[in-house]
Amino acid sequence: MNEELLGPGSCSAPAAPGSLGRVRATDPADSDIVIGVKPGRPADGADGFVRCAVACLHLARKRCEEALAAHDVSTRLEFPGSIYHLPIIYGVTGRPIRMLADVAWVLEEAEQRINSKSAAQLRISHSSAALDVGMAVLWLAEVIEALKYLGVGPAPVDDIWLGAAADGIMRARGIEFIEESTPGFAAVIGEAPSVETAVALAHEMQQKSLYVFMAGEGGECLATGDGFDRLPTIGAGGTTLAEQLIEGGVQLGWDTRLVPFGREAFAHVHSIGFAVRVAMAFGGVEPGDCRTLFAYVEDRVPAFVVLLGPVTDLQCVVAAGAMNFGLPAIATHDIPTTLPSTDCTRWRVVPRVPPHDLVARSIEVRGLKTVVGEMDIPVAYGHVFSGERIRNDDLHLEMGSPKAPGCELLLTAEDVEDGRVTVVGPEVEDLSFGSTVPLGVLVEVAGRRMQKDFEPILERQLHHLLNEVQGLRHMGQRDVLGMHLSHRAVEAGFRFEHLGRIIHSIMHAEYSQIVDRVQVTVFTQTEMVLTLLERAQAVYRERDERIGSLTDEDVDEFYSCTICQSFAPNHVCIMTPERCGLCGAYSWLDGKISFQINPAGPSRPIRKDNVLDAARGSWEGINSFVHDASHGAVERIDLYSLLEYPMTSCGCFECISGVLPLCNGIFTVDRDYSGMIPIGVKLSTLADMVRGGAQTPGFLAHSRLYVGSPRFLSGDGGILRLVWMPRYLKESLRAEIEAAAVAVGHPDLWEKIATEDDAVEEEEVMSFLARVGHPALDMEAMF
């Protein structure tokens, strides 16, 4: 029975070391309920947990008896305006409750689940026992809440309390979960330490577009062992978050996303019931298919439980019930616990989170995607402004290079407060028209899926992201960063602070898959900028070394790119750490990040699998992917050789290399060269041969920088085969070629490469090579 309640991917087995930890109630003697694993804990807390569940059972029973005294057994039992019966019971068991008579089996089933668990069982590593009891209590709570609509117990809709939401509301709001215009809901139980804290908490949740579902009061916990009738008022004397918000003058209701379901914690069945109904309405989840149900809710209706104030037994039991649906519990008070090391969220209980950290922590624990609303900036934003130049007479501020130090740096950090923007140094209004000011932009991000490797890629996005601001021009990158700000933008109210606002919003909008929190600091004071610059340069160096040292052998996966299939339907690019896409615009890392952001997009990880020819760079996994992705047009590619199975090209290449058979070498030509190539054709002819996904043995299209890679045609002899290239290409790649040549013991190679000034006929190239003693002539025959 227990197993049945654990959905797919549940961490019951792997999370065994230290799952839930203990949940503490206020009475020290009655405090520790070990829902999780810790063997050897005191017995008392688990007793409290079970006692509370038993109390709920008694209460439900008592209320049923009352109802049956006043009503016929065939009286309808339902939540108004819903076709989903009592949705949790219906969704999990598949059995609809239609009338009072149907309650009998629920009570029996719940009793069986509760009574079959001893306190001892709850203490040892049967986390599922606690979940099971929690589920039973949710069913009882659903019955208790439904009975209220028959006049048994307190009125469900009363004063500020809204009671159950009709299906119409559920669907209208459920759409927001499916379209992800809300990141999720918080099921809040208890009271904040003060009205001010309550209001601040609610506002923060609203800002994050979260729904706040409220039920259950706080206050000191009373013993639950006797006086079952008093259970619903378990937090005697306590108030509720909803009431605190009313006192603070906050408007509640579905429109403000602050939804008070009921005064008793039982009313949280409307929170869970909401999620269950969304799963049935939008996910087509069949009632009774609880595995699918749990998985769906966890995936599509992200939510979490917030326990405000000292944690009571009832809160624990309700939270345990919610955990079945993947809701972690985050509490302001003490729940000493060991967090599981997996990133599985449903089993997590996080204690002692101060109210001001609650939202950020919850979002992170539950892994919610933040939804950022409209950017509040005084100027327009969009693609149309990305090419905008700022004329001299409109140039209000020149920031950063070339006239002053400037740099931008994006780092992952631990202590990131989402949305925080700090300006250190003078603001725009402190600077007069025509000023020059140093500029340092530090963007710190955090995210469960953020990786250090993504830093430079995200940092590079700052260019296009800030260029789309009307009246702002962003130039360069890294430590050659400069910006121009127009007078009009300043007049409109643009400040340095807005740089941070924009970066924060757009990072969330475009990279929400990897970034959870973003904070920005803008430095405009010289010493501070210089300090940042120094730090940044160290980071750049480290990055360059790291990226530069990453080789094809270091990874098991290469990345594909099929962006160009829109016009070259059978072309597939394979990007490796040592070879970027042939357009020069996408690297292996770009592919990796692009896949994180959009797994259905143009880049996929491809496992290399068995090696077919290590020297020429041929792997089974790569070939099989290329075969499929080229729709059967290409059977095999050799990544390091152009002789037989060169990679195909879409047409966006920067260079083409080809064999010069007489010279025992290759030429490399780029797109800008319009003269004759030593094989007797011009680039345009050559381009026609290789583009459109064609595989042309002897010719390879590639990026400029590939020439300097240790993997440059390494299967054919590498850089030493390079015998001819256009003069300016040779000049512009001098550093790369020299470095590569040094690495293979020919430091003077660069001098020996012919250009159009030396030769344009292959025979002339040949005599040039003989004259300078080009190493290619001494290499073994290419074929």
Partner 1 sequence: MAFEAPVETAKGSVIEVVLNGLQLGGQTALPFHWFEGEFSNPPRVGFEVWDVAPTDWAKPLAHVYSGVWSEPVAWARMVVEELGAEAVYLKLMSTDPNGLSRSIAEAAGVAEMVADAIDVPLAVVGPGAPEVDAEVVQAVAPRLEGRRVLLGPASEENYRAIGAAALGYGHGVIASSPIDINLAKQLNVLLTRLGLEENSLVMDPTTGALGYGLEYSYSVFERTRLAALFQNDQKMQLPIVAAVGEETWKAKESRAGDDEMPGMGVAETRGILWEAVTGLALSLAGADLLILRHPRSAELLRATFADLGAGGAGEGVAQ
CB of 653 to partner 1, least distance (A): 19
Pick out residues in 297-356 that bind partner 1 (CB under 8 A): 300
Pick out residues in 175-204 that bind partner 1 (CB under 8 A): 175-181
CB of 569 to partner 1, least distance (A): 6
Under the criterion CB under 8 A, does residue 171 sit at the interface with partner 1? yes
Identity of the residue, 361 or 369, whose beta carbon is nearer to partner 1 in the bound complex: 369
Shortest CA distance to 458 belongs to which of 470, 474, 446? Answer: 446
Q: Are strands 557-561 and 605-607 parallel, antiparallel or unpaired?
A: antiparallel
Shortest CA distance to 407 belongs to which of 361, 441, 454, 448? Answer: 441
Strand order in the sheet with 722-724: 699-702, 655-660, 665-670, 722-724
Q: Which residues of 543-570 are buried (b: 16+ CB within 10 A; e: fewer)?
A: beeeeeebebeebebbbbbbbbbeebeb
Under the criterion CB under 8 A, does residue 600 sit at the interface with partner 1? yes
Burial class (CB in 10 A: 0-12, 13-18, 19+), 245: buried
Quick note: the x/- pattern for partner 1 over 602-631, rule CB under 8 A, is x----------------------------x
Identify which range of 55-63, 245-253, 443-451, 558-566 contacts partner 1 by CB under 8 A: 558-566
CB of 550 to partner 1, least distance (A): 28
Identity of the residue, 146 or 165, whose beta carbon is nearer to partner 1 in the bound complex: 165
Per-residue HEC secondary structure of 322-358 comes to HHCCCCCEEECCCCCCCCCCCCCCCCCEECCCCHHHH
Identity of the residue, 174 or 471, whose beta carbon is nearer to partner 1 in the bound complex: 174
Q: H or E element: which one contains 244?
A: helix 241-247
Number of residues that bind partner 1 (CB under 8 A): 27
Identity of the residue, 365 or 568, whose beta carbon is nearer to partner 1 in the bound complex: 568
CB of 83 to partner 1, least distance (A): 12
Pick out residues in 675-704 that bind partner 1 (CB under 8 A): none
Under the criterion CB under 8 A, does residue 281 sit at the interface with partner 1? yes
Among 244, 565, 618, 641, interactor with partner 1 by CB under 8 A = 565
CB of 175 to partner 1, least distance (A): 4
Among 566, 674, 684, 780, interactor with partner 1 by CB under 8 A = 566
Identity of the residue, 507 or 563, whose beta carbon is nearer to partner 1 in the bound complex: 563
Q: Check: CB of residue 211 under 8 Å from CB of residue 255.
A: no
Under the criterion CB under 8 A, does residue 601 sit at the interface with partner 1? yes
Q: Check: CB of residue 353 under 8 Å from CB of residue 307.
A: no
Which structure tokens are listed for 270?
């409307």
Among 29, 120, 172, 743, interactor with partner 1 by CB under 8 A = 172
Q: What is the full DSSP assignment across 518-572?
A: EEEEEE-SHHHHHHHHHHHHHHHHHHHHHHHH--GGG-SEEEEE-GGGGTSTT--
Other C-beta atoms closer than 10 Å to the C-beta of 1 total 11
Among 21, 36, 174, 218, interactor with partner 1 by CB under 8 A = 174
Under the criterion CB under 8 A, does residue 581 sit at the interface with partner 1? no
Phi first, then psi: give them for residue 770, nearest 5 degrees.
-65, -40
Identity of the residue, 177 or 213, whose beta carbon is nearer to partner 1 in the bound complex: 177
Identity of the residue, 109 or 176, whose beta carbon is nearer to partner 1 in the bound complex: 176
Q: Check: CB of residue 18 under 8 Å from CB of residue 38.
A: yes
Under the criterion CB under 8 A, does residue 563 sit at the interface with partner 1? yes
Identify which range of 17-25, 172-180, 205-213, 542-550 contacts partner 1 by CB under 8 A: 172-180
Amino acid at 450: M
Shortest CA distance to 677 belongs to which of 654, 700, 660? Answer: 660
Which structure tokens are listed for 421?
């923007």
Identity of the residue, 76 or 631, whose beta carbon is nearer to partner 1 in the bound complex: 631
Distance CA 768, CA 280 (A): 77
Interacting residues toward partner 1 by CB under 8 A:
168, 171-172, 174-181, 281-284, 300, 562-563, 565-566, 569, 598, 600-602, 631-632
